[in-house]
């Protein structure tokens, strides 16, 4: 399950970066969008509090790739996409 989930997350990020490089006017813009999209889930996870931050960081293409917000840690602790009480 983890292998398939991580493959889908990686594929989503690669597809997003490729689409961003098609839309971008130059190489610097494509590179900056790619770097921001990889770092954004970690920043959202740290800045936005509560379950809204977890949901928002999951919706970003690289949502399961990270240190503190990795999919493995979420599935082990059974708090993946916690919806409330």
Asked whether residue 82 carries a pLDDT value surpassing 80, the answer given is no
Most confident of 27-36, 37-46, 58-67, 73-82: 27-36
Distances (CA, A) of 51 to 27, 36, 48, 83, 84: 36, 22, 9, 7, 8
Asked whether residue 21 carries a pLDDT value surpassing 80, the answer given is yes
Quick one: tokens of 43? 């920043």
* Among 3, 4, 36, CA closest to 17: 36
Burial class (CB in 10 A: 0-12, 13-18, 19+), 3: exposed
For the chain, give every domain's residue range: 2-76
Asked whether residue 14 carries a pLDDT value surpassing 70, the answer given is yes
Burial class (CB in 10 A: 0-12, 13-18, 19+), 74: middle
């Amino acid at each position: 399950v983890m292998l398939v989930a991580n493959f889908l997350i990686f594929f989503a990020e690669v597809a997003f970066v490729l689409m961003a490089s098609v839309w971008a006017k130059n190489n610097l813009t494509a590179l900056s969008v790619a770097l921001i999209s990889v770092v954004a889930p970690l920043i959202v996870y740290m800045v936005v509090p509560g379950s809204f931050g977890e949901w928002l960081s999951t919706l970003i293409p690289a949502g399961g790739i990270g240190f503190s917000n990795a999919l493995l840690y979420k599935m082990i602790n059974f708090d993946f996409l916690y919806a409330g009480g």
